[in-house]
Every structure is written in structure tokens, then in C-alpha cells.
Amino acid sequence: MKVINSKDIYNILESAILKNEHLKPTIGNGKDKRYIIKKGLKIRHKPTGLVYTVYDVSFGDPGDPIIHCHRPGKKFTIKKDKFKDYERQ
């Protein structure tokens, strides 16, 4: 029987999140919080198919993440209520 360690659990959770229909910048709570959307991640806008690169993730209000991304010639932010319109590339 295989013993599962914390890295295995993290990989399982990350894999499950990749299959989700919307983006979540973190998993876990408190000391166990981990950022899964990081600088350099490619995300695709589902309706248009345009691909953007994440350059920062910030938290304006607690629990209200904002993803900062760009593509050539355009920089913008994605607020939590629009995460459902994007997926990992």
C-alpha cells in the first residue's frame, strides 16, 4: 500500500483544480494556503480563445483576488466574478 505524503495530496488537489471550470488563485486556508496561479501562467479567455500571461496576483480585500495579466499590446485585470470566463492554457 502506498503512503501518501503532503506533496502527493497537493498534486491531487492541483490536478482536480485543473479540471475545474473556473480559476482559483489559491487552495487551502490560513497557514496551509498555497498560490496556484502564479506569474507566467497562461490562461485562455473561453468566449474569445485569446491567451494571456499572468504577471501578478493581488488581493484587494480579504478573499477578493485580482489576476493581472497581459498579451502583446494589452494589460488588464481579472476580478473574481470573471474567473469563470477563463481557464488554464
> pLDDT of 4-32, one tens digit each?
777 777 667 666 555 554 556 667 777 77
Report the number of distinct structural domains present in the chain: 1
Cell output for 78? 481579472
Q: Note down the domain range covering 28.
A: 6-88
Average pLDDT over residues 62-82: 86
**Structural domain contains residue 18:** yes
Closest C-alpha to 81, from 22, 14, 28, 6 = 22
Of residues 20 and 47, the one with the higher pLDDT is 47
pLDDT band at 69 (very low <50, low <70, confident <90, very high): very high
Residue 49 has pLDDT above 50, yes or no: yes
Separation between Cα atoms, residue 2 and residue 35, nearest integer Å: 27
**Structural domain contains residue 39:** yes
pLDDT of residue 21: 42
**Structural domain contains residue 26:** yes
**Structural domain contains residue 1:** no
pTM of the model: 0.60
Closest C-alpha to 36, from 21, 26, 46 = 26
